[in-house]
Amino acid sequence: MTNQIVYSDEVRDGISLGLPIVALESTIISHGMPYPQNVDTANRLCEIIREGGCVPAIVAIANGKLHMGIDDALLERLSTEEGVLKVSRRDMPVALALGSLGATTVSGTLIAAHLAGVKVFVTGGIGGVHRGAEATMDISADLEELSISNVTVVSAGIKSILDLPKTLEVLETKGVPVIGFKVDELPAFYTRSSGLKLVAKADNASEVALVMKSKWGLGLNGAILVVNPIPKEYEAGAEEIEKAINEAICLASEKGIKGKSVTPFILSHVTEATKGDSLKANIALVENNARVGAKIALEYAKLVL
């Protein structure tokens, strides 16, 4: 079973030294950002996590193995190759069995983190209920995975390409606490606010760690979603971005884009339409999440020692 997972040297050493591991997804690298910003961002995130006293583990699939931590050569392939598979739970057994090169989504990364006992995972934004899902049934596999994986996911909230209120409803149904990091409103990825009030707020990383201990201590399986708003100075251009999102959603439906291609299509359209403004914001917020994720991982490690 577990011989399908391989650990990088850095991650293996980290585990044996008892250092907290922080997982990172690879779909953001292969499908969420253009080259070379994707590879630079991945390296920067790893650096931030190391500076925070933890060990970074980018999750990806190659040569029939689920990788917990990748080397520079694999990072380069994920950043540059055409046709990297976008891997959620559905795709994982196929990608592993057939030896595909695969980038893991939030759901794929959660599976790896859960299997490896990694408690914190840093990303940009999670998938959720798409606008118009009442007709298309397009609901990200991320939500299902959040309901069963014992991992804390640090995100900048939920991007407004999605239906935010419906996504919060499903998270409630699935028993996933959504915790505002120093805020009591759901951030909307490019902007700090969405107008949607949250029921939980943490003032610091140790409060998040206490919630983790409480949830899993009770035997309640599933994730905790921390929503950490984008830093104020990068919040610019919200209106322009919203306009680009609306255009992209229309364009996607005109072009008949469906299934797992929808999210990457919208993201790349928005990046182009905003001439890179959205990309700069995306990089800033995920770096900010890495800083918070490392703090949470350290606090949790102290609690469960």
Q: Which two tokens stand for residue 141?
A: 């596999």
CB 147 within 8 A of CB 223: yes
Answer yes or no whether residue 138 interacts with Mn ion by CB under 5 A.
yes
Is 25 known to be catalytic?
yes
- Select from 33-41, 107-115, 138-146, 192-200 the region that touches Mn ion (CB under 5 A): 138-146
- Helix ranges restricted to H, the chain: 9-17, 27-30, 37-51, 72-80, 92-97, 106-116, 133-136, 141-146, 164-173, 205-217, 238-254, 262-273, 277-304
Q: Which stretch, 64-72, 82-90, 136-144, 181-189, contacts Mn ion (CB under 5 A)?
A: 136-144
Minimum Å distance from CB 304 to ligand PSU? Answer: 27
Nearer to ligand PSU, 124 or 177 (CB): 124
Comparing CB distances to ligand PSU, the nearer of 27 and 274 is 27
Least distance from ligand PSU to the Cβ atom of residue 113, Å: 13
| Rounded Cα distance, 198 and 183, in Å | 9
Q: Are 289 and 155 in contact (CB under 8 A)?
A: yes
By C-alpha distance, which of 178, 212, 211 is closest to 196? Answer: 178
The only residue of 14, 20, 102, 125 in contact with ligand PSU, by rule CB under 6 A: 125
Residue 277 contacts ligand PSU per CB under 6 A: no
Total residues at the site for ligand PSU (CB under 6 A)?
Answer: 17
Q: How many CA atoms lie within 13 A of 42 on its CB side?
A: 33
Question: Looking at beta carbons only, is 152 or 263 nearer to Mn ion?
Answer: 263
Question: Interaction with ligand PSU in 182-241: which residues (CB under 6 A)?
Answer: 189
- Exposed, middle or buried: residue 118 (CB in 10 Å: 0-12, 13-18, 19+)? buried
Residue 153 CB, nearest approach to ligand PSU (Å): 10
Identify the residue among 30, 140, 191, 278 touching ligand PSU (CB under 6 A).
140
Distance CA 192, CA 212 (A): 24
Inter-residue contact 248 to 273 (CB < 8 Å): yes
Given a contact cutoff of 8 angstroms between Cβ atoms, the answer to whether 176 and 222 are in contact is yes
Contacted entry of ligand PSU, Mn ion, none for residue 145, CB cut-off 5 to 8 Å set by kind: none
- Which member of 149, 160, 263, 278 binds ligand PSU (CB under 6 A)? 263
Tell me how far, at minimum, the Cβ of 83 lies from Mn ion, in Å: 19
Residue 99 in tokens: 């030896």
One residue of 37, 38, 79, 105 binding ligand PSU per CB under 6 A:
105
Please spell the DSSP secondary structure of 199-231, one letter per residue: SEEESSHHHHHHHHHHHHHTT--S-EEEE-PPP
- The least CB distance from residue 15 to Mn ion, in Å, is 33
- ∠ at Cα 305 (297, 10), nearest 5°? 50
3-state helix, strand, coil in the chain (%, to 5): 50, 15, 35
Q: Which of 142/299 has CB closer to ligand PSU?
A: 142
Least separation in angstroms between residue 217's CB and ligand PSU is 27
**Under the criterion CB under 6 A, does residue 300 sit at the interface with ligand PSU?**
no
Q: Which of 10, 86, 119, 159 is catalytic?
A: 159
Residues annotated as catalytic (active site), given as ranges:
25, 159
Question: Rule CB under 5 A: which residues touch Mn ion?
Answer: 138
Question: Rule CB under 6 A: which residues touch ligand PSU?
Answer: 25, 27-28, 32, 105-106, 124-125, 127, 140-142, 159, 189, 260, 263, 267
